[in-house]
A and B are shown apart, each in its own frame.
Chain A
């Protein structure tokens, strides 16, 4: 597949899919750097497929040909390598992926609004905003959203169609214990069931303004007298938008986050006549609600979700290619990446191991997520830990409920006794550069 040659421009491109791939700060330390190599969130595997595969194949199934993939510049090579590699290009042969980067650092990432504003000139048509971490359910094809958008825009002034999903997590209690941060909290929203209109999205600003009460405009309730209010739904961050949305975005320069600022504001615009006059558009925001009973949907934007997504797709255990498992080891309910080496008498329960992990003999892992190339020493015991790529757990070490990232490890030299001296030095120098 020759991605460098621009295909003949189709006269009427209806949609372009804009996939936003960020740093994934919520997934730290998994997304921390491995030496100098970044570990892009978009490429974290979910059941041995990079996360990015899921939205890409979703887009492809809907027949959309053009994808604008936006990632941080530091991730460019890794992601570019991935989309040009044999494994993915085979499956996305019909999609033209335009990879663009923006400059930002992991510590200070630009808001989604500014990213979109920056690329506004590259988007000439209606677009679908998709996060790289949304794992769409098979029962919800993208075309369902597109069709709702098409009918709504034709029939009335709908300019955005959003998608919210219900997520039932049965392991809520245990996840809280882990101390990794709780899974994403649902945002209270108000919508009209009959017309499928999103009316109100609670935002941090609203919470600050009135912590105890939701303030809904009476004009909203007069227009939509049978509105529903729910605090069970999560934003998939999939938005089918008219091109005009970018113009609005350009006018509201102070907005930073699409989810927290822009869309809540847009919702309010729907029933504020004076403002609508000002922006000279009639505005309506459609909504598609995906119920938990209709299929599993999740946004993998934090660690509990990552673990859950991996578990969901793996019936019991999946082991990647070229991985070697020695004798007398037990592996249950786990996903093991490629090129791993698992020693003797190892016990792995409910874990996710990324590629190139080395587990020495007699180690015990329970409910852990190990980043790329993590090495676990002999008879080490990890319970509910997450490690950064390249982390080394020394022999006989026992850690529970911790996020192990390399800076911590380097800061505590006594932990790293007996480990590879070189690597410590490397990490320290890295820190200095920061």
Chain B
């Protein structure tokens, strides 16, 4: 622990006595882009919440906890962060806090990468506090650190203590989209299992390993904890990240990994804070809720009128209204200021304007008759007269001109001008065009393309980074503007619209960052159209009587994503499924064709070919019919059309069917009616139409189809070509059907033959059995086309024979 202790005897004592410097590591990068486009030009940790940058709130929280040394890991906009630290009150002499910014490589894409960076820097000497740069907390982390150190004396393997806050399941600060179930031993508060929960699609089950019960017979399953993202870590933690290079997220990868690993043998504890407040601004929704929490003084003593991290001073009025104290705020006599509102200095509220449950930065102006509700205006934002702004975040220097309507959930980046008389759709995201010169010529792209680009470098997930990268992203966005949508932003606008998030099919996007899940993290989105509750489905044991419930479930699934209100141009799931299906099918057909090609070319046995087909079918999970289609197509297409027809043609067909016909019934199911149907379908649409009758006869002779099957097929309406288009094809269908009809006629005649023969020919048994069999088997050869005289002759011969027999009997 402390490297300077040399004698092993006094070591324990030294650790106990020596007052170590408490270190903290602040991850000043969010590693995601939920605040885009607000974060295109500054990192999230410098966004103001209640008029002070998030980073300052974090420092304030850490100072309150008695932290003395802070390492700030910055990546995107590192220079801005550094400057901000240099200019903050903490850098002044006597602040009692040493803040060291550490700039990491651009390739740092996850908190895990940052931890590995910390390890290589070797800056950590003892237990440290790991927080993110967007923390608002008044929890006494010092107590937790003490507890952690006590525990370390007993259990060297206790490497981490997570601070979690007890709340309700539906607490506004508890993220619905990104929460977790903790399984905790109530006596030792050891965390035994961590299960991350994403909000959408709703997670159905939490799986708790049974083996934890062996050592901990009684545990608590907590689903009501807010993860404050405050971790007390031991020095081993960065090295564990180093050893397990695939750990990305601290919770989903590291905690889960450590708890499930049977090799690491490390343990993680929870500190369930019952008092105090701690939360991090993970997304715009939590930005909203934490702002409200601050205004309603849950974070006391960190409140706007006292200990304000930005150093502003506000006067606290009844109803949690805060007005800057320096008398620079100009409130019109007729304006209305609602509860839970903070107004920064030099702001002006004009006549008849209403400001409710909102935060106004410094130098904001709200024009006459405008309404600002549940919104956050950064410094210098100007709202023109008669505007409505709801549930939105407005960047600094934004100018919203008169009679503009900003619907809920809009994010407007710094410096944007909107209006006049614009109407912003809900959840619009606007940022400023880089050059203010007209670039209308760039906007020739279609609206469709508009949705296809974007989000390519997604797993990097960053808050804006390299200027190049930002530029390229901006360029993309700018290049794909929809002129109609832009037109709605008013004549004076300099804005571009950021596209709605779409799912790129090819890209493996994790559930957490899925747009539907992200909707649960957006400001102003009540996501009422997403079905989040699990209605309680049916386990497979509940088979027979409860099958109706099953249907319900499927129904829910079907209706879910399609019902997004925001008219997202998402391809509907059914489409996606259909596309995926057709892809699978065509791939399958391709493979079957190849497989059969091989089989035919190399002369495999029927059984081997059948096994291969079965495997293929299992692999792609397609219906049996497809296999049958493929087999029949392969067979029929290989029958050579012999110009003269006649007997050679028949022999050709017979040999093919004799060799391969058995395959039809060995593909995993026997359905002769379907076989005939498919044969018809194939013949009708290929040049082997004339062969239909002969092939059918050959199949009949090899017992692949029998009389009843042909009759059944014949009885089906589709066999006559009903509903088949185009008309030419229908014609072909019909020809086949006629051929079949002819054959059936022969069957009929033959049947009566047999009967008559049996009736009459009792005496002539010596001859009959020998003849009768070949007759019944060989007989049916339908004509239906002129080219097969031979067969026609033969069949007519037999017909004649039959006729005469019939005559005899009668």
C-alpha spacing A268/B536, complex, angstroms: 9
Q: How far is the CA of A213 from the CA of B193 in the complex (A)?
A: 11
Q: Check: B94 CB closer than 8 A to any chain A CB.
A: no
**Judging by beta carbons under 8 Å apart, are B169 and A214 in contact?**
no
With A225-B222, A226-B224 known as contacts, the answer to whether A205 contacts B217 (CB < 8 A) is no
B181-225 contacts to A, CB under 8 A, are 181, 183, 186, 197, 202-211, 213, 217-224
Knowing A222-B223, A230-B217, say if A214 contacts B536 (CB, 8 Å). no
Contact of B218 (CB < 8 Å), options: A211, A229, A276: A229
- B552 and A274 within 8 A (CB): yes
Is the pair A225, B549 in contact by a Cβ cutoff of 8 Å?
no
Find out whether the CB atom of B221 lies under 8 angstroms from the CB atom of A274: no
Q: Inside 8 A of B181's CB, which chain A residues have their CB? A: 218, 221
Query: Are B219 and A211 neighbours in the complex by a CB distance under 8 Å?
Result: no
B533 on interface, CB distance cutoff 8 Å: yes
Name the B residues within 8 Å of A213 (CB-CB): 207-210
Q: Is A171 an interface residue (CB 8 A)?
A: no
Nearest CB on A from B201, distance (A): 11
Asked whether, in the complex, the Cβ of A225 is within 8 Å of the Cβ of B210, the reply is no
Q: Which single residue of chain B is at the shortest CB-CB distance from A225?
A: B224
Interface size counted on chain A using CB atoms at 8 A:
37
CB proximity to B under 8 Å, residues A188-245? 188, 190, 205, 209-219, 221-222, 225-232
B81 to chain A, nearest CB (A): 37
Per the bound structure, the CA–CA distance linking A363 and B541 in Å amounts to 55
Q: Which residue of A lies closest to B192 (CB)?
A: A229
Which residues from chain B contact A274 at a C-beta distance below 8 Å?
A: 535-537, 549, 552-553
A209 vs B535: C-alpha distance when bound (angstroms): 21
CA A221 to CA B168, docked complex, whole Å: 11
What separation, in Å, do the CA atoms of A427 and B86 have in the docked complex?
98
Nearest CB on A from B261, distance (A): 15
- Report yes or no: B208 in contact with A226, Cβ–Cβ below 8 A: no
Contacts A225-B168, A225-B169, A274-B552 known; A217 to B534 CB distance under 8 Å? yes
- Distance in angstroms from B707 CB to nearest chain A CB is 44
Name the B residues within 8 Å of A225 (CB-CB): 168-169, 222-224
Flag A239-272 by CB within 8 Å of B: 1 or 0 each. Answer: 0000000000001101000000000000011011
Interface centre among B210, B218, B220 (most CB of A within 10 A): B210
A212–B219 contact, CB under 8 A? no
Question: B536-564 interface mask toward A, CB cutoff 8 Å, 1 = contact, 0 = none?
Answer: 11110100111011001100000000000
Contacts of A252 in B (CB 8 A): 545
Q: How far is the CB of B511 from chain A (nearest CB, A)?
A: 14
User: Which B residues are CB-close (under 8 A) to A400?
Assistant: none
How many pairs, one residue from A and one from B, have CB atoms within 8 Å of each other in the complex?
A: 112
Selected contact of A229 from candidates B220, B533, B537, B539, CB within 8 Å: B220
Whether A229 lies near B204 (C-beta < 8 A) is no
Q: Nearest residue in A to B225 (C-beta to C-beta)?
A: A225
Chain A residues touching B, majority SS? mixed
Instruction: Provide the bound-state CA to CA distance between A227 and B203, in Å.
Output: 18
CB distance from A246 to the nearest CB of B (A): 17
Select from chain B the residue with minimum beta-carbon distance to A211: B210
- Selected from B168, B202, B205, B552, the residue in CB contact (under 8 A) with A215 is B205
- Within 8 Å CB of A105, what residues of B? none
Chain B 146-177, CB-CB to A under 8 Å as 1, else 0, gives 00000000000000000000001100000000
Q: Contact check, B213 vs A273: say whether CB atoms are below 8 A apart.
A: no
Q: Is the CB of B541 within 8 A of A205?
A: yes
Contact A227 to B207, CB < 8 A, known contacts A217-B536, A272-B536: no
* A192 to B, closest residue via Cβ: B221
List the B side residues contacting A226 at CB < 8 Å.
Answer: 220-224
The answer to whether A232 touches B217 (Cβ under 8 A) is yes
Within 8 Å of chain B (Cβ to Cβ): is A13?
Answer: no
Give A219 to B218 CA distance when docked, in angstroms: 21
| Residue interface mask A162-192, B partner, CB < 8 A = 1 | 0000000000000000000000001010100
Most-contacted residue by chain A among B205, B219, B537, B546 (CB, 10 A): B205
Q: Are A227 and B221 in contact (CB under 8 A)?
A: yes
Query: Known: A225-B222, A228-B221, A278-B549. Contact between A219 and B536, CB under 8 A?
Result: yes
| Nearest Cβ on chain B to A373's Cβ, whole angstroms | 42
Task: Report the bound CA distance from A210 to B539 in whole Å.
Answer: 13
Given A213-B208, A225-B224, do A188 and B536 touch, yes or no (CB 8 Å)? Answer: no
- A249 CB to closest chain B CB (Å) equals 13
Cβ-defined contact, B217 with A218, below 8 A: no
A275 in the interface, Cβ–Cβ < 8 Å?
yes
Q: Which of B186, B210, B536 contacts A212 (CB 8 A)?
A: B210
Residues of A within 8 A of B221 (CB): 190, 216, 221, 226-229
Whole-angstrom CA separation of A227 from B221 in the bound complex: 5
Contact B206 A221 (CB under 8 A): yes
Q: Could you tell me the distance between the alpha carbons of A202 and B70 in the complex, rounded to whole angstroms? A: 48
Query: How many Å lie between the Cα of A230 and that of B187 in the bound state?
Result: 13
CA separation between A272 and B553, bound complex, in Å?
Answer: 12
Which of B206, B213, B535 is within 8 Å of A231, CB to CB? B213
Residues in chain A near residue B223, CB distance under 8 A: 218, 221-222, 225-227
Q: How far is the CB of B40 from chain A (nearest CB, A)?
A: 36
B206 to chain A, nearest CB (A): 5
Return chain A residues, CB-CB under 8 Å to B548: 278
Contact residues in A for B553 (Cβ distance below 8 Å): 274
| A216, B222: Cβ atoms closer than 8 Å | no
The answer to whether B210 touches A214, judged by C-beta atoms less than 8 angstroms apart, is yes
CA distance A405 to B217 in the complex (A): 37
Specify which of B223, B546, B552 lies most central, judged by the most chain A CB atoms within 10 Å of its CB.
B223
Please provide the chain A residues from 268 to 313 with a CB less than 8 Å away from any CB of chain B in the complex: 268-269, 271-276, 278
Interface residues of B (CB under 8 A from A): 168-169, 181, 183, 186, 197, 202-211, 213, 217-224, 533-539, 541, 544-546, 548-549, 552-553
Would you give 18 A-B contacts (Cβ < 8 Å), ordered by A? Answer: A186-B217, A188-B213, A212-B210, A213-B209, A214-B209, A216-B207, A219-B534, A226-B224, A227-B221, A227-B223, A228-B220, A231-B218, A272-B535, A273-B535, A273-B536, A274-B537, A275-B538, A278-B546
Which residues of A does B touch, CB under 8 Å?
186, 188, 190, 205, 209-219, 221-222, 225-232, 251-252, 254, 268-269, 271-276, 278
Extra 17 A-B pairs, beta carbons < 8 Å, given A228-B218, A268-B539: A190-B221, A209-B539, A210-B207, A215-B207, A217-B536, A221-B181, A225-B223, A226-B221, A226-B223, A226-B224, A227-B220, A227-B223, A229-B208, A229-B221, A230-B217, A231-B218, A278-B548
